[in-house]
Amino acid sequence: MSGCVALLTFAASFGQTTLFTDDFEDGDDDGWTVTQGNWDVIEGRYRPVGGQRNYSYAGDPTWSNYRVEVDVYLGEPDPTGSHWDIAFRVDPTSNPCVDHGCAGRQYILLYDPLTSELVLRYGHGSGTTDVLHYPHYLDPLREYRVTVTVIRFTVTVEIDGISFSYTFHGSDPLYSTGVIGVGHYREDGIDGGAYVDNIVVSLEDLCERVCQSTDTSLGMPATIEFKGGDGSWGTFGAEPVPNQFGIFFYGSTQTRLPFGNGFLCTGGGIVRALPPVVATGNRAEATIDLTSLSGIRYFQYWFRDPAAGGAFFNTTDALCCDFDAGG
């Protein structure tokens, strides 16, 4: 959740955007790619069918900050070893799978009934590494609603009334985008009745729209967008804007002062993202280094608009981005 406080909001904030849902009630698994074992849709649920290892993924590899909610039914545990996995920011080209020695590049949440632990793990091309063991017993033969939220490099897990977080950093691989996956492992290879269902993936906005903009020479106000990225970089866009040059900039406070033909929405030690950009097709775009930013920043775009007369320049509205969100 963003910590932005919209002091001067004129445009509506973004709502929750659903990226993907599947309740399997249509009886098929269209949109899923199985990389290990077999999965079947049985009685409106997605089930690993036999075998020791089962893995399947779905989604768009450009997904960055998102929340995955899924019903997980824990089947009969295998006394010799079993776990289910929810994977996220999975690189679908890395042959993701459920094994310890899996080469897939991905983040994984799993439950291990032998140790009664929830485990946060990553796969990195030559195996997997556990970064967090969270002791918590889950009853078998029960369905749980699992929520995994990944914003920047912070993962927050909610299940069974508990919640914990971990921030990937330092020597961890930093995967900024990727699809979701589901996995199941049973040493004995018997069908233990496990399944997943009611999967919802929703966009977690790092930024909220604030302040306002005025009509340009194109006859409508220009807006700024956060188009994706993670903790270390972000791509910002502005449209529709005249095909002139402009500069994205940001500051730590929100203002609303007359500025050119529009408003200055950003204050507090303004930083210009150089070099300036030139809009084409009435769109401007820039990738900005966010590495050193923490807390809240307000982003806006300044652009020349000679055809409009007046001050010959204007601005977009602003985005309030919370770089501590999820932390």
Q: In the range 180-199, which residues lie near Ca ion by CB under 5 A?
A: 197
How near is the Cβ of 176 to Ca ion at its closest, in Å?
28
Shortest separation between residue 70's beta carbon and Ca ion, angstroms: 11
**Least distance CB 45 / Ca ion (angstroms):** 5
Phi first, then psi, for residue 205 (nearest 5°) are -70, 130
Site string for Ca ion, 43-82 (x = CB under 5 A): -x--------------------------------------
Nearer Cβ to Ca ion (26/188): 26
- 232 and 289 in contact (C-beta within 8 Å)? yes
CB of 27 to Ca ion, least distance (A): 7
Of the two residues 72 and 120, which places its CB atom closer to Ca ion in the complex?
72
Name the segment binding Ca ion (CB under 5 A); options: 42-50, 85-93, 161-169, 180-188.
Answer: 42-50
**Interface segment toward Ca ion; rule CB under 5 A; list 18-26, 81-89, 209-217, 300-308:** 18-26
Q: Which of residues 107-166 bind Ca ion (CB under 5 A)?
A: none
Of the pair 85, 197, the CB lying nearest Ca ion is at: 197
Stretch binding Ca ion (CB under 5 A), from 21-29, 107-115, 278-286, 293-301: 21-29
Rounded CA separation 245/304 (Å): 6
Cβ closest to Ca ion, residue 30 vs residue 139: 30
Residues 197-236, interacting with Ca ion (CB under 5 A) = 197
| Nearest distance in Å: CB 25, Ca ion | 5
SS (HEC) of the chain: CCCCCCCCECCCCCCCEEEEEECCCCCCCCCCEEEECCEEEECCEEEECCCCEEEEEECCCCCCCEEEEEEEEECCCCCCCEEEEEEEEECHHHCCCCCCCCCCCEEEEEEECCCCEEEEEEECCCCEEEEEEEECCCCCCEEEEEEEEEECCEEEEEECCEEEEEECCCCCCCCCCCEEEEEEEECCCCCCCCEEEEEEEEECCCEEEEECCCECCCCCECEEEEEEECCCEEEEEEECCCCCEEEEEEECEEEEEEECCEEEEEECCCEEEEEEEECECCEEEEEEECCCCCCEEEEEEEEECHHHCCCCEEECCEEEEECCCCC
The residue nearest Ca ion at its CB is 44
For residue 200, the minimal CB distance to Ca ion (Å) is 12
**Candidate segments 20-28, 85-93, 149-157, 238-246, binder of Ca ion by CB under 5 A:** 20-28
23/215 with CB nearer Ca ion: 23
Q: Which one of the spans 29-37, 152-160, 245-253, 283-291 is the region binding Ca ion (CB under 5 A)?
A: 29-37
| Shortest Å distance, C-beta 24 to Ca ion | 5
The rounded distance, in Å, linking the Cα atoms of 227 and 238 is: 10
Provide the pairing of β-strand 318-322 with 313-315. Answer: unpaired
Q: Give the CB-side neighbour count of residue 58, counting CA atoms within 13 A.
A: 17
The answer to whether 28 contacts Ca ion (rule: CB under 5 A) is yes
Residue 17 tokens, joined: 């955007």
Among 2, 4, 24, 290, binds Ca ion (CB under 5 A): 24
Q: Which is nearer to Ca ion, 26 or 215 (CB)?
A: 26
**Would you say 24 or 298 has its CB closer to Ca ion?**
24
Binding site for Ca ion (CB under 5 A): 23-24, 26, 28, 30, 44, 197
